[in-house]
Structure 1
Amino acid sequence: MTSSALTKSQMCGLLAMCLRFHIVGAVIVSLGIAAFYKFAVAEPKKKAYADFYRNYDSTKDFEEMRKAGIFQNAK
C-alpha cells in the first residue's frame, strides 16, 4: 500500500470549513441586529426629537424655568 491510496482524514481542513460557516453566520446575525436597532430604536428616537423640537419655544421654556427659581443669576 502506498500513502496515496489512503483516504483523506476528515480532520484535514475541518477548522477552515467551520470558520467559514461561523463567519458567514456571524456577519448575517450582526447585520440583522444592526437593521433591527436602526428601525426599532434609532428611527423612533429621531422622530421623537423632531416632534419635540417642531413646536419648542426656548424663550418660553427659559421664562418658566426662571419663574420657578432654577436660575439664581437671571432676574
Structure 2
Amino acid sequence: MSSSALPKLQMRGLLVKYLQVHFVGTLTVALGVVTFCKFDMGEPRKQAYTCATTPDFYRNYDSMKDFEEMRKAGVFQSVK
C-alpha cells in the first residue's frame, strides 16, 4: 500500500483567483462582441444613411414638416 500525500488544497484566496481569471475572460468576450457589433452592424448602417444617392437628406430634413404631412394623411390617430 503506497500512500502518497495529496497536495494541500488552496483555501485562501480561491474566490479572488477564480474571479480574476473569469473577469479577464468576460471582459475579452464583451469587447469582442462590442467590436463585432460596431463594425458588422453600425458602420454599414452609417454608410446606408450617408449613401451617395441622398447625401443631403438628413442635412435638409425638416421633422416638423414631415410630421405635419403625416398628420394630414391620417397616420396618427391621437393627433388631429
TM range (shorter): 0.5 to 0.7
For structure 2, list consecutive stretches of 5 or more residues without a partner in the other structure.
Answer: 1-6, 75-80
Percent identity of equivalent pairs = 37
Aligned pairs for 1:1-75 (under 5 A) are: 9-51=9-51, 53-54=54-55, 56=57, 70=73
State the one-letter code of the partner of 1:70: A
AA at the equivalent of 2:55? R
CA distance in structure 1 between the partners assigned to 2:26 and 2:55 by the alignment: 40
Structure-1 residue corresponding to 2:78:
none
Moved over 6 A (4+): none
**1:8-48 Cα deviation digits (max 9, x unpaired):** 64122110110000110111001000100000100000000
**Residue segments in structure 1 that go unaligned for 5+ positions in a row:** 1-6
**TM-score scaled to structure 2, two decimals?**
0.56
Report the RMSD for the aligned CA atoms in angstroms: 2.8
